Amino acid sequence: MILVTGGAGFIGSHTCVALAQAGIPFMVLDNFCNSRRSVLERVERITGAPVPFIEGDIRDTALLQRVFAEHAVEGVIHFAALKSVGESVREPLRYYDNNVAGTVALLGAMRAANVRTLVFSSSATVYGDPASVPIREDFPLSATNAYGWSKLMMEQVLADVDASEPGQWRIARLRYFNPVGAHASGLIGEDPQGLPNNLMPFVAQVAEGRREFLSVFGGDYPTQDGTGERDYIHVCDLAEGHLAALRYLRQHPGLLTVNLGTGQPTSVLEMVRGFEQASGRPVPYQIMPRRAGDVAACWADPSRAEQLLGWRAQHDIAAMCRDAWRWQDGVARQLHGQAAAQRV
């Protein structure tokens, strides 16, 4: 059985679907601090099977000990983390406690239970402002905010744990770029609580009419249309990347580090046009001044993941926009309506 921490979140829920469809038993551990319990009910509708889950926090060492004692856990996919850059600047201690201390607690419980296979949800944020693109795994690492530093620290903890017991651990650090899209069923997708942190849900909410316009930060970058370029990857491709990493670790002990991206840069305005085509709705935008800390262009060299894992992204921008709009125009709209009604 695979324990999926943060399995009710955006990437976690899609990975649970991929695990179920691959016939791999799993269990979710989530404290639902930034997700809804109903996500797991919708995962069940997709897969046709109930989702075993435990409500709890990865910092709760007694709970972790009980989970590993009572269930035959063979490995862990670790998503549980806070993930807002802006919030991390305002509340750094909360991020270091939840993300770093939580990972240390999880690793301690795993070692005590002799469970030594871990797929870790890292991020391209660990590359900071890259000197060049595309970005390879051997590029220098840095961070500009507490969220980024927490990911870097967690990566270092994993490297140190692996080095301390050579050949005993099987650890994959997956550095993803910009996850977008939604499951083709339209039943699960990105469901930000409050103001979205990422571009795609913001664009989707403008298309839906919930927000008046999209703020595009920076129109004078040295890119094809002056707006920032990013490597957007469909969340279902990302989910398959976790399964590919699990399969790799079964055969290879040690520490694996790979980028998960498409290797294709897409500008903000290209994404806006793609979403307008997918939704049939206008997405009005305004060019605003650049934001401090934003980089002009950031995209992956994913060749190492293809070479080692046999994994390659399959979905293009049109599919990402279609799937995101299906989710936004259906379940996401219903959830927002229910939340608004409860506030009245």
Tokens for 68, please give them. Answer: 């590993």
DSSP state of 127: B
Percent of the chain with pLDDT over 70: 98
Counting Cα atoms < 13 Å in the Cβ hemisphere of 205 gives: 23
> Residue 142: which CATH number?
3.40.50.720
Give tens-digit pLDDT for 300-315: 999 999 999 999 999 9
Q: Give the Cα separation of 141 and 130 in Å (integer).
A: 9
Number of domains the chain is built from: 1
Considering 95, 127, 147, 221, which one is annotated as catalytic?
A: 147
Give tens-digit pLDDT for 47-87: 999 999 999 999 999 999 999 999 999 999 999 999 988 89
113 residue type, one letter: A
Helix (H) or strand (E) holding 53, with range, is: strand 53-55
Give the 3-state DSSP-derived string for 257-325, with helices as H, strands as E and coil as C: EEEECCCCCEEHHHHHHHHHHHHCCCCCEEEECCCCCCCCEECECCHHHHHHHCCCCCCCHHHHHHHHH
- pLDDT reported for residue 343: 61
- Residue 131 pLDDT exceeds 90: no
Q: How confident is the model at residue 195 (pLDDT cuts 50, 70, 90)?
A: confident
Residue among 107, 55, 108, 54 at smallest CA distance from 78: 107
- pLDDT reported for residue 51: 98
- pLDDT reported for residue 341: 67
Sign of the CA dihedral 41, 42, 47, 51? negative
214 residue type, one letter: L
Q: How confident is the model at residue 291 (pLDDT cuts 50, 70, 90)?
A: confident
Taking residues 136-146, report their average pLDDT: 94
Q: Give the Cα separation of 27 and 20 in Å (integer).
A: 10
- Mean pLDDT score across all residues of the chain: 95
Domain membership of residue 232 as a residue range = 2-343
Taking residues 333-337, report their average pLDDT: 86
Cβ(161)–Cβ(171) under 8 Å?
A: yes
Q: How confident is the model at residue 340 (pLDDT cuts 50, 70, 90)?
A: low
Cβ(181)–Cβ(324) under 8 Å?
A: yes
Tokens for 225, please give them. Answer: 């249309």
Instruction: Give the number of other CB atoms < 10 A from CB of residue 208.
Output: 16
Taking residues 147-152, report their average pLDDT: 96
- Residue 294 pLDDT exceeds 60: yes
- Residue 344 pLDDT exceeds 60: no
Q: How confident is the model at residue 336 (pLDDT cuts 50, 70, 90)?
A: confident
Residue among 135, 274, 98, 138 at smallest CA distance from 199: 274
147 is catalytic: yes
Taking residues 104-122, report their average pLDDT: 98
Tokens for 201, please give them. Answer: 């849900």
Residue among 247, 275, 277, 261 at smallest CA distance from 314: 261
**pTM of model > 0.95:** yes
- pLDDT reported for residue 80: 98
- pLDDT reported for residue 197: 78
Helix (H) or strand (E) holding 340, with range, is: helix 333-343
